[in-house]
Amino acid sequence: MSRNRTTRRVAGPLAGLAGAAVLAAATLPGSTATASPDAPAQQSARQTAAKTAPKASPEDRVAALVKSVDGPGVRKHLVALERIGDKHGSRASGTPGYRASKNYVVKQLRKAGYHPQVQSFDFSYFEVTAPPVLQRTAPEPATFVEGTDFDILEYSGSGDVTGTVEGVDLALDDIENSTSGCEAADFAGFTAGNIALVRRGTCDFSVKVVNAQDAGASAVVLMNQGNGEDRSGPFIGTLGGPVGTVPAVTTTFALGRDLEGDTVRVSTSTESETRTTWNVTAETQRGRQGNVVMAGAHLDSVVEGNGINDNGTGSAALLHVAEKLAQKIKAPRNQVRFAWWGAEESGLLGAEHYVSELATENPRALRDIALYLNFDMVGSPNYALFVYDGDNSAFPAGDDAAEAPKGSAQIERAFRTFFRSRDLATRPTAFDGRSDYGPFIAEGIPAGGLFTGAEGIKTKAEARLFGGKAGVAYDECYHQACDDLSNVSMKAVRINTKAIASLVGTYAFSTKSVNGRATGHDRRNATTPLAHDHGHGAGTVTATR
């Protein structure tokens, strides 16, 4: 009921009759309805009140944004991605499931009032179409276990071969300095048709495999280097592209050493080809274009399944925040740009393509990016609340972490402050550039983000802080078919989505804590992400050498 009504109310049973008489008079042919003489004065008063009423502060508008985001809003998007994955078998880049995921995000953004941009690019698609096999057939038959004893190399060729394992310049008396297979000359005297055994070290795996193929090897076994615990066990590797024409697998240092001279069967079934995939970006129509706040998440899954935690959670949370920001913060001071990346699981390719294209075709637009926030796996079922270590205090720059660009420490501090305001503990995760923020920090763009754990094991201390089970992976379905809607902690999703909304909203009004009085970022702060690796912070690393 309007509070500005000026007609006097008629009491008692006559009220209905009086109302009817007024209505009739207003609608009689030839009659003229007149407004109350008080109406112009009241309209003027309302206009004056609107002009003099205090506007909501940026802090109030950010608080309203944070309050508006909720679990059901994110879950709606997760359900949609689950249905897409169920229909198409996965949401991996290069598949119909990814195309449908991209179309869904674009549709939701348009409904929210954005004008999304779709950027296409080609990439090397790879799929394992049957489980790989590694067996010793003589002298002592044995069947080895994938993921424990060996793994297929990404972009391995296909085939089913049995042959003698022949070591190539293994130099086992010099564990630290392996160049096995790095030179074509290493294969001098190699027996064509044998299985080449090469040792990790010095050069890219692709160089070793191509040299072995050229020397007539029927398959390649790449053993770990053996110089320390982290380079002795099983490992996941990639050739970086479809250069492999023969079966190629990795093994532990111990198993590789034991297989030399034995008769072994290696069987792989793979598909490699060039396919097209897409990035999706959407930005606010208002805000300074010279000081852009970016937030992103990768949209693709692995080919094994739906990828609802990895990374449906990050994608859905970001989409929900974008929808609510359009409602709650219509006039940000800084332009906000959201991004959903393709082909992250193939090596951060979507983010790399976006950044490299800007660097080549519009370097000014690249300089205008003030900061980048990354959200990769924010709902792991046995979660911990990890914040990227932007000040390198827990993970100093070196073998395990990249040097964080100036301003990244302030982003980490802002995330931690938000969680503390909710009486929630956090723990740092290595700022290593192994997710989609890697290409941004390589350009000197301050970055930060959230992560809830992959296949790493939750410690007892973390279980006391966050609940869940110690001694168990944060996500036991990481990169597996069981990464579906049942593999998500909505509790973790809810709190992380509110943290995302808080920082995106805050930086929409001011990035002063990150870049001071300047706009954009300083290219002189560029750093080098950990090279030749790809993974999710504390998660799996896919090595190239």
Is the preceding peptide bond at 141 cis, omega within 30 degrees of 0? no
Beta strands in 139-169, from DSSP E residues, in sequence order: 142-143, 150-152, 159-167
Phi, psi of 223, deg, nearest 5: -90, 150
Token representation of residue 211? 């040299």
Residue 79 DSSP SS3: helix
Q: 423: buried, middle or exposed (CB in 10 Å: 19+, 13-18, 0-12)? A: exposed
Query: Angle CA(43)–CA(47)–CA(49) in degrees, nearest 5?
Result: 115
The dihedral region occupied by 175, where left means phi > 0, alpha psi between -120 and 50, and beta the remainder, is alpha
Catalytic member of 283, 323, 344, 352 = 344
Q: Which residue has the tokens 């709902």?
A: 379
Question: Whose CA is closest to 507, among 451, 450, 446, 452?
Answer: 446
CA atoms within 13 A on the CB side of 395: 21
Judge contact between 74 and 320, C-beta under 8 A: yes
Q: Residue 92 forms beta bridges with which residues?
A: 301
Strands 159-167 and 263-283: antiparallel
Residue 262 DSSP SS3: coil
Q: What is the DSSP string of 431-484?
A: ----STTHHHHTTT--EEEEE--SSSBPPHHHHHHH-S-TTSBS-TTTTSTT-S
Q: Residue 151 forms beta bridges with which residues?
A: 250
Query: Angle CA(109)–CA(115)–CA(121) in degrees, nearest 5?
Result: 90
- The interaxial angle of helices 408-421 and 490-509, nearest 10 deg, is 130
d(CA 455, CA 467): 17
Strands 219-223 and 369-375: unpaired
d(CA 236, CA 535): 10
Integer CA distances (angstroms), 159 to 101, 188, 190, 292, in order: 33, 24, 20, 49
Question: Whose CA is closest to 390, among 400, 379, 371, 404?
Answer: 404
Q: Active-site residue 455, yes or no?
A: no
What b/e readout covers 441-461, taking b as 16+ CB neighbours within 10 angstroms? bbbbbbbbbbbbbbbbebeee
**Which residues are part of the catalytic machinery?**
344
